[in-house]
């Protein structure tokens, strides 16, 4: 496992896209903190970056990378190695290097300008989102052999979690506005990793007061230590489940 | 040594392997012949675990290989079209392979690397190599770890005459050491002096499976190419062995 992981990581780190991604994240984070009047405002702007750009880049880059390393996987499958080892090494390599990019690009500036629990939750959520979307990319790769279709699926999944899901939630809220939906909303947020991270970070930022009664319910649930642990556990599930499904299809794949 | 039991595989509507049964033993050098798309490569890939059969079992030294992977350390495989990570150099690829397969404790055999002149171009990236040079890398890797089984899918296609001869010589030497060699090729003339058994496949089935000597005896031909042509032309010889021939 370690051997293959090493080769994957070395290969990805040499990849220019990851370097550009790191530099871009760093540039945006630094300028956000320097342009906004207060670091707290900077954090709010950074939130959108983390919730939209990070998942998008991770899901697309990982999908393309896995398709492009078909030669590598094909070569390794004929060698005395478990398919599971090969697949998990690819996943581990992508997750590690993209997390590293995020830590350098966002983690370092946040620690410099806003080193408090809020900053920490922001970094942690960003890291989780990075790995979750690598996992989701693997799921998309498992669905089809066709690279173009695979990338299409990856983008569709991102679109669903970043935009469509929220639209559906809003639609439900308006349809059932006569009923108390606050607790249902907490449950709903677990079905979308982006929402889960958003709620976590917003509650840390003390702007939950703006969210009305739902905000208060969210506060009650996610504000407690157990709530935070449960929501990070939710993100963990979002990493494991897609990865397991993709592993299952990779084990049956014909080279 | 390798046993295939009722192996079937279909790709969509196409039945690529249709209930294949056979046994390959140590010391045999088997020529796998047949028209394009008859399932030769798929059968090879099934043995290697690269293609997962729909049904049936493969036994390696009596052990089922369905979910096992260690048996592959005893196989050297040379693919028909070697596909390698484009950004890695020859040296990187070889280094990685040594890294993966070093557990067996074998001292890597660099003979083919030297004889093919690959040692002078170790820093070249795989993307920049010609088809023939890529084939040489595949060949060098297949023989490097002294495997007891060699599976060679069209080994000499794309190689220049000198390298082709080098490779043939090496294959014969491995065969004399008592290794099992499975080889597909369309150039029958080059198989004459190495194979001991001939399998002819068509549409996922074995049309016949006979020792070379027997084949020559039945047809009265000295050359493999003539013998195969005759047996294919003369259905009365080809057909009865449609049912599996015990060898």
* pLDDT tens sequence across B58-114: 999 988 887 788 899 999 999 988 889 888 899 999 999 998 888 767 788 889 999
Query: Would you state the structure tokens that stand for residue B67, as one six-digit string?
Result: 């979910």
8 Å CB contact of B100 and A77: no
Listed in sequence order, the DSSP H helices in chain A are 2-13, 16-35, 39-48, 54-68, 70-77, 83-102, 108-113, 117-143, 147-159, 165-175, 182-189, 193-204, 212-222, 225-251
Asked if A84 is an interface residue toward chain B (Cβ–Cβ < 8 A), one would say no
The answer to whether the CB atoms of A72 and B77 lie below 8 A apart is no
Q: Chain A residue closest to B145 (CA)?
A: A79
Say yes or no: A7 contacts chain B, CB-CB below 8 A: yes
Distance CA B207, CA B202 (A): 6
Alpha-carbon gap, residue A52 to A57, rounded angstroms: 9
Q: Binning pLDDT at 50, 70 and 90, where does residue B215 land?
A: confident
Any idea which residue has 């280094």 for tokens? Answer: B95
Neighbours of A9 (CB within 10 A): 17
ipTM over 0.90: no
Query: A238 falls in which pLDDT band (50, 70, 90)?
Result: very high
Contacts of B16 in chain A (CB under 8 A): none
Query: Other C-beta atoms within 10 Å of B233: how many?
Result: 10
From the list A7, A78, A82, the residue facing B77 with the nearest CB is A78
Q: Which of B11, B69, B87 sits opposite A80 (nearest CB)?
A: B69
* CB-count exposure of residue A154 (10 Å: 0-12, 13-18, 19+): buried
Chain A CB contacts of B90 under 8 Å are none
Backbone CA torsion sign across A184, A186, A190, A191: positive
Question: Which segments within B95-228 are labelled E, that is strand?
Answer: 149-153, 180-184, 197-202, 205-211
- DSSP notation for A205-254: TT-GGGGHHHHHHHHHHHTSHHHHHHHHHHHHHHHHHHHHHHHHHHHT--
Sheet-wide strand order for B29-33:
B75-78, B149-153, B180-184, B29-33, B197-202, B205-211
| pLDDT tens-digit map of B65-78 | 877 888 999 999 99
Question: What does the block give as tokens for A87?
Answer: 């697949």
* pLDDT band at residue B37 under the 50/70/90 scheme: confident
Q: In what order do the strands lie in the sheet with B63-64?
A: B14-24, B2-11, B55-60, B63-64
User: Mean pLDDT, chain A, as a whole number?
Assistant: 90
Q: How far is A6 from chain B (nearest CA, A)?
A: 10
The answer on pLDDT for B119 being more than 80 is: yes
Domains and CATH numbers, chain B: 2-242 (3.40.50.300)
Contacts of B70 in chain A (CB under 8 A): 80
User: Which residues of B12-124 form beta strands (DSSP E)?
Assistant: 14-24, 29-33, 55-60, 63-64, 75-78
Q: A244 touching B, CB under 8 A?
A: no
User: Mind listing the pLDDT tens digit for each residue in A20-37?
Assistant: 999 999 999 999 999 888
B contacts of A67 (beta carbons < 8 Å): none
pLDDT tens across B125-169, in order?
Answer: 999 999 999 999 999 999 999 999 999 999 988 899 999 999 999
For residues B220, B221, B225, B230, the Cα torsion angle rounded to the nearest 10 degrees is -40
Minimal CA separation from B61 to chain A, in Å:
16
pLDDT tens for A76-101 read 999 999 999 999 999 999 999 999 99
Rg of chain A over Cα atoms, rounded to whole angstroms, equals: 19
- Flag whether pLDDT at A237 surpasses 90: yes
Q: Does A41 touch chain B (CB under 8 A)?
A: no
Q: For chain B, how many helices (H) and strands (E)?
A: 8, 10
Cβ within 8 Å, pair B11-A254: yes
CB-CB: which of B52, B70, B101 is closest to A252?
B52
How would you classify the pairing of strands B180-184 and B14-24? unpaired
In chain B the first and final C-alpha atoms are separated, in Å, by 14
Cβ A255 vs Cβ A246: under 8 Å: no
pLDDT at B242 exceeding the cut of 60: no
| Two tokens, residue A126 | 């960003």
The pLDDT score that the predictor gives to residue A117 is: 86
pLDDT at A211 over 80: no
State the count of interchain CB pairs (< 8 A) between A and B: 58
For residue A25 the two structure tokens come to 């994240």
């Amino acid at each position: 496992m370690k051997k293959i992981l090493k080769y994957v990581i070395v290969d990805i780190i040499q990849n220019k896209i990851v370097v550009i991604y790191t530099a871009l994240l760093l540039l945006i984070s630094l300028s956000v903190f320097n342009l906004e009047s207060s670091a707290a405002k900077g954090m709010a702007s950074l939130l959108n970056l983390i919730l939209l750009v990070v998942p998008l880049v991770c899901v697309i880059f990982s999908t393309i990378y896995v398709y492009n390393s078909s030669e590598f996987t094909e070569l390794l499958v004929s060698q005395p190695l478990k398919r599971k080892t090969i697949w998990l090494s690819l996943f581990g390599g992508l997750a590690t290097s993209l997390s590293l990019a995020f830590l350098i690009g966002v983690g370092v500036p946040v620690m410099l300008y806003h080193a408090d629990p809020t900053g920490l939750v922001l970094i942690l959520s960003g890291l989780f989102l990075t790995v979750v979307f690598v996992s989701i990319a693997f799921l998309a790769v498992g669905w089809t052999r066709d690279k173009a279709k695979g990338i299409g699926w990856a983008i569709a999944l991102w679109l669903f979690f970043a935009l469509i899901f929220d639209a559906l939630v809003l639609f439900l809220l308006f349809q059932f506005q006569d009923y108390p939906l606050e607790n249902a909303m907490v449950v709903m947020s677990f079905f979308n990793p982006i929402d889960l991270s958003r709620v976590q970070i917003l509650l840390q930022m003390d702007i939950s007061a703006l969210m009305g009664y739902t905000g208060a319910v969210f506060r009650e649930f996610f504000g407690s230590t157990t709530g935070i642990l449960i929501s990070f556990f939710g993100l963990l599930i979002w990493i494991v489940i897609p990865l397991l499904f993709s592993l299952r299809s990779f084990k049956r794949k014909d080279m | 040594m390798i046993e295939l039991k009722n192996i079937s595989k279909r790709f969509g509507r196409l039945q690529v392997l249709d209930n294949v049964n056979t046994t390959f033993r140590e010391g045999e050098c088997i020529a796998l012949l047949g028209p394009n798309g008859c399932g030769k490569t798929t059968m090879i890939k099934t043995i290697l675990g690269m293609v997962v059969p729909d049904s049936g079992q493969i036994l390696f030294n009596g052990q089922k290989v369905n979910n096992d992977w260690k048996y592959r350390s005893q196989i050297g495989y040379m693919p028909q079209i070697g596909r390698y990570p484009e950004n890695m150099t020859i040296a990187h690829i070889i280094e990685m392979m040594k890294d993966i397969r070093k557990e067996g404790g074998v001292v890597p055999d660099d003979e083919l690397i030297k004889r093919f002149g690959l040692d002078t171009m170790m820093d070249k990236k795989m993307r920049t190599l010609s088809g023939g040079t890529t084939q040489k890398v595949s060949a060098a890797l297949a023989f490097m770890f002294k495997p007891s089984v060699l599976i060679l899918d069209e080994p000499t296609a794309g190689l220049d005459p000198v390298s082709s001869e080098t490779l043939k010589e090496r294959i014969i030497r491995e065969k004399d050491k008592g290794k099992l060699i499975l080889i597909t090729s369309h150039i029958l003339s080059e198989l004459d002096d190495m194979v001991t058994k001939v399998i002819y496949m068509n549409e996922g089935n074995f049309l016949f499976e006979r020792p070379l000597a027997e084949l020559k005896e039945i047809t009265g031909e000295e050359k493999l190419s003539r013998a195969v042509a005759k047996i294919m032309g003369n259905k009365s010889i080809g057909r009865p062995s449609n049912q599996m021939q015990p060898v």
